[in-house]
């Protein structure tokens, strides 16, 4: 599915609506394929030179020409021009690539009901639940998520929360080819500011919440907020914008939004409302729009996710009598509050929570349903990411668990000991006796299992669905749930 089939188009078609600054050696030639990776370029292809975080595509223009590129789209012309090559300069090559990709694939998003989900937490769960729901009630659908991309049941590996514009439009095009009517996709803040979703036509957008995350990239919370807001600013008038009005940032999201705004909430007056009636480790009883529904999920955050799914389905004209029974039978998304059992019967919750707010939500959910048993939390923080959230995460874990084991997450190119030290710096002296530091994640999980009684609950947080651990540029096989399930303790 990763292979892009050739679609021969003329240059005028491909560059339609792209803001061109200058043209050199211009002629309306035929283009065989489009790329922003010079290694993939072949004869009669168009190459877009992207200025990235780690490399600048302008440095590979000559390589692209050597490989056969007949058109170069760039922000700055190279010093030596090839008279056989067409050069088009643009103000922003990333923005240009997004429009070029939609043109090349004939604007697939205009012929499918595309719904984007953005926010700090809940994106994967909501997108996945919507995909399962609409597939379950008889529609062919697509899913674009952190965990996986799916086209009508066929799974495709996912490398980013939101794919690059070429891959994204290619996937949407393939969905149309087999008759998909809906696509549900996560929209990350990175994808928004990097123009990966540029040129796409959204039928609807969902805002979940906004908390401390990705400040290594956006630098300030305001920048992070504005990135999310930009998604809603660009929605068409015919679309819907569904926002979690319980979040204090929700109204900001839709200040300049032309779309039809609808709200959902558990605590405020809203267009769609929900209340938790009962809660246990087997699930929870919800009251959605005066209708009671039993779910296999627990936690307030899951109630928000379910309400967002229900509300979206109603806005997409699905029948209420089909929605609620199906939601009642849904199973959890991999790595999202997923229950694991050791060989001796001890219970762990495996969750992707890797932000302060997500950790607080998960721990709160566990505390709300446990009795006198203890909570043992195994938590790490990712390397080469926002360092400022590490002490905040540690503080929340120390305050909401009986024992916290700080360990490695994906240390990447950072020293794991330094990451743990950053976490420990957020702990009050009075809580230090609740903390154990074990750098080796497998040993940390094993230690938690040994120290827990059968009545205790272990939280293994941070990696969730991930099946590898990245250390010094190498990804080693590592699955939290599998490791815990194979323990004899």
Distance from C-alpha of 463 to C-alpha of 335, rounded to nearest angstrom? 8
Neighbours of 67 (CB within 10 A): 17
Res. 218: pLDDT tops 50: no
Tokens at 402, concatenated: 């009986």
The edge-to-edge listing of strands for the beta sheet with 375-379 is 338-341, 347-351, 457-461, 375-379, 403-406, 435-437
In which residue ranges of the chain is CATH 3.40.1390.10 found? 9-103
Res. 40: pLDDT tops 60: yes
* Whether domain 338-485 has CATH 3.90.190.20: yes
User: Which residues fall within 8 angstroms of residue 459, CB to CB, at 6 or more apart?
Assistant: 348, 349, 351, 362, 363, 366, 375, 376, 377, 378, 379, 401
Please, which pLDDT band fits residue 1 given cuts at 50, 70 and 90? very low
In which residue ranges of the chain is CATH 3.40.1190.10 found? 108-328
Tokens at 132, concatenated: 């399962």
Res. 273: pLDDT tops 80: yes
pLDDT value at position 219? 59
* Whether domain 108-328 has CATH 3.30.920.30: no
Res. 482: pLDDT tops 50: yes
Q: In this predicted structure, which of 73-87, 156-170, 349-363, 367-381 has the lowest mean pLDDT? A: 156-170
Distance from C-alpha of 271 to C-alpha of 311, rounded to nearest angstrom? 9
Q: What is the pLDDT of residues 82-139, one digit of tens each?
A: 999 999 999 999 999 999 999 999 999 999 999 999 998 899 999 999 999 999 999 9
In which residue ranges of the chain is CATH 3.90.190.20 found? 338-485
Report, as an integer, the average pLDDT of 427-453. Answer: 95
pLDDT value at position 2? 43
pTM: 0.81
CA 44 to chain centre: 35
Q: What is the 3-class SS of the chain, one letter each residue?
A: CCCCCCCCEEHHHHCCCCCEEEEECCCCCEECEEECCHHHCCCCEEEECCECCCCEHHHHHHHHHHCCEEEEEECCCCCCCCCCCEEEEECCHHHHHHHHHHHHCCCHHHHCEEEEEECCCCHHHHHHHHHHHHHHCCCCEEEECCCEEEECCEEEECCCCCCCHHHHHHHHHHHHHCCCCEEEEECCHHHHHCCCCCCCCCCEEEECCCCCCCHHHHCCHHHHHHHHHHHHHCCCCCCEEEEECCCCCHHHHCCCCCCEEEEEECCCCCCEEEEEEEEECCEEEEEECCEEEEECCCCHHHHHHHHHHHHHHHHCCCCHHHHHHHHHCCCCCCCCCEEEECCCCCEEEEECCCCHHHHHHHHHHHHHHCCCCCEEEEECCCCCCCCCHHHHHHHHHHHHCCEEEECCCCCECCCHHHHHHHHHCCCCHHHHHHEEECCCHHHHHHHHHHHCCCCCEEEEECCCCCCEEEECCEEEECCHHHHHHCCCC
pLDDT value at position 213? 54
Report, as an integer, the average pLDDT of 433-457. Answer: 95
Distance from C-alpha of 362 to C-alpha of 377, rounded to nearest angstrom? 11
Q: What is the pLDDT of residues 254-272, one digit of tens each?
A: 999 999 999 999 999 999 9
- Residue percentage of the chain with pLDDT more than 70: 96
Res. 462: pLDDT tops 50: yes
Question: Hunting for tokens 């990763």 — which residue is that?
Answer: 2
Question: Hunting for tokens 């029948």 — which residue is that?
Answer: 319
Please, which pLDDT band fits residue 224 given cuts at 50, 70 and 90? confident
Q: What is the pLDDT of residues 286-341, one digit of tens each?
A: 999 889 999 988 889 999 999 999 999 999 999 999 999 999 998 877 888 888 99
Res. 171: pLDDT tops 60: yes
Please, which pLDDT band fits residue 236 given cuts at 50, 70 and 90? very high
Q: Please check whether residue 148 is in contact with residue 159, taking contact to mean a CB–CB distance below 8 angstroms.
A: no
Report, as an integer, the average pLDDT of 210-229. Answer: 73
Please, which pLDDT band fits residue 212 given cuts at 50, 70 and 90? low
pLDDT value at position 54? 81
pLDDT value at position 371? 66
pLDDT value at position 113? 98
Res. 148: pLDDT tops 70: yes
Distance from C-alpha of 113 to C-alpha of 203, rounded to nearest angstrom? 5
- Residue percentage of the chain with pLDDT more than 90: 79
* Whether domain 9-103 has CATH 3.30.1490.20: no
Tokens at 28, concatenated: 């309306």
Distance from C-alpha of 16 to C-alpha of 164, rounded to nearest angstrom? 20
Report, as an integer, the average pLDDT of 76-85. Answer: 95
pLDDT value at position 4? 46
Q: Please check whether residue 31 is in contact with residue 71, taking contact to mean a CB–CB distance below 8 angstroms.
A: yes
Distance from C-alpha of 111 to C-alpha of 117, rounded to nearest angstrom? 19
User: Which residues fall within 8 angstroms of residue 222, CB to CB, at 6 or more apart?
Assistant: none
């Amino acid at each position: 599915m990763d292979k892009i089939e050739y679609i021969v188009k003329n240059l005028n078609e491909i560059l339609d609506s792209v803001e061109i600054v200058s043209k050199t050696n211009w002629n309306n030639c035929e283009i065989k394929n489009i790329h922003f990776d010079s290694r993939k370029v072949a004869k009669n292809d168009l190459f877009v030179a992207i200025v990235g975080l780690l490399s600048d595509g302008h440095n590979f223009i000559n390589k692209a020409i050597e490989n056969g590129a007949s058109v170069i789209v760039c922000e700055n012309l190279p010093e030596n021009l090839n008279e056989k090559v067409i050069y088009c300069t643009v103000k922003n090559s990333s923005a240009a690539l997004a429009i070029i990709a939609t043109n090349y694939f004939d604007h697939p998003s205009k012929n499918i009901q595309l719904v984007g989900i953005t926010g700090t937490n809940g994106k994967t769960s909501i997108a996945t639940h919507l995909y399962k729901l609409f597939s379950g009630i008889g529609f062919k659908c697509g899913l674009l998520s952190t965990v996986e991309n799916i086209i009508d049941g066929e799974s495709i590996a996912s490398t980013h929360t939101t794919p690059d514009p070429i891959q994204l439009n290619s996937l949407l095009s393939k969905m149309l080819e087999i008759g998909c009517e809906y696509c549900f996709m996560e929209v990350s803040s990175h994808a928004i500011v990097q123009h990966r979703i540029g040129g796409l036509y959204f039928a609807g957008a969902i805002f979940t919440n906004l908390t401390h995350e990705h400040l290594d990239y956006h630098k300030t919370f305001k920048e992070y907020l504005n990135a999310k807001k930009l998604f809603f600013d660009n929605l068409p008038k015919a679309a819907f914008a569904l926002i979690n009005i319980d979040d204090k940032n929700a109204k900001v999201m839709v200040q300049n939004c032309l779309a039809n705004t609808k709200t959902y909430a558990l605590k405020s007056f809203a267009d769609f409302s929900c209340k938790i009636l009962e809660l246990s480790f087997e699930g929870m009883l919800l009251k959605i729009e005066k209708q009671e529904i039993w779910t296999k999920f627990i936690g307030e955050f899951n109630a928000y996710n379910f309400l967002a799914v229900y509300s979206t389905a109603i806005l997409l004209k699905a029948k209420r009598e089909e929605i609620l029974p199906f939601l009642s039978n849904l199973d959890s998304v991999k790595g999202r509050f997923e229950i694991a059992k050791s060989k001796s019967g001890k219970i762990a919750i495996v969750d992707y929570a890797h932000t302060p707010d997500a950790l607080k939500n998960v721990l709160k959910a566990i505390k709300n349903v446990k009795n006198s048993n203890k909570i043992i939390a195994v938590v790490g923080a990712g390397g080469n990411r926002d360092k400022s959230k590490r002490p905040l995460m540690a503080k929340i874990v120390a305050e909401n668990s009986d024992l916290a084991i700080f360990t490695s997450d994906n240390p990447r190119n950072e020293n794991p000991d330094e990451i743990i030290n950053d976490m420990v710096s957020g702990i009050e002296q009075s809580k230090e006796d609740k903390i154990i530091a074990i750098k080796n994640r497998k040993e940390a999980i094993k230690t938690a299992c040994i120290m827990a009684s059968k009545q205790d609950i272990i939280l293994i947080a941070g990696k969730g669905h991930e099946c590898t651990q990245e250390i010094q540029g190498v990804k080693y096989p590592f699955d939290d749930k599998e490791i815990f399930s194979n323990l004899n303790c």
